[in-house]
């Protein structure tokens, strides 16, 4: 179960990073001056830049749910696989910080410094997720390779 969640989360976070890159590349990064909504009040803005920016925020919400679920699943394995549990906790904390940094980037007027910190935190989320993935999959890969080697030796 955790293995599938990890794969889905890796795909989701990669898509999230791509959506953020697309948003910035399109020039829509600063089109929504408020957070979590786009404009003052509850009205939905019109225009491609707004849609791209809010689309990125929507992807953040969806991937965030997946990432939180994956991290909680990893945390539930504290007794059996503490390294996976701790990596899940670390991932969750870094992602929470990343969300806060995203809000600060908006509230601070999209300064170069906050955008750089936000991008750095996105990289840390990716690194933490890949680290957790390696803790989940490498033992299984090692055991599979060991079993193949043993069976080839006829043991």
Per-10-residue mean pLDDT for the chain, 155 residues long?
Answer: 94 96 92 83 80 93 96 91 93 95 91 93 96 87 59 62
Q: How far is CA 78 from CA 20, 82, 150, in A?
A: 33, 4, 31
Q: What pLDDT is attached to residue 80?
A: 86
- Looking at residue 146, its pLDDT comes to 58
Give this prediction's pTM. 0.83
Q: What's the pLDDT score for residue 149?
A: 59
Annotated domain spans of the chain: 2-153
């Amino acid at each position: 179960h955790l293995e599938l969640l990890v794969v889905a989360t890796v795909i989701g976070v990669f898509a999230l990073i791509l959506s953020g890159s697309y948003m910035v590349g399109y020039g829509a990064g600063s089109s929504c001056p408020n957070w979590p909504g786009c404009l003052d009040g509850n009205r939905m803005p019109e225009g491609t830049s707004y849609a791209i920016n809010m689309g990125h925020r929507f992807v953040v919400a969806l991937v965030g749910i997946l990432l939180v679920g994956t991290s909680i699943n990893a945390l539930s394995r504290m007794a059996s696989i503490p390294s996976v549990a701790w990596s899940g906790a670390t991932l969750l904390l870094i992602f929470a910080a990343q969300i806060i940094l995203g809000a600060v980037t908006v509230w601070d007027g999209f300064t170069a410094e906050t955008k750089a910190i936000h991008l750095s935190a996105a990289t840390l989320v990716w690194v933490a997720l890949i680290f957790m993935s390696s803790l989940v999959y490498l033992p299984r890969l090692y055991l599979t390779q060991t079993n193949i080697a043993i069976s080839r030796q006829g043991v």
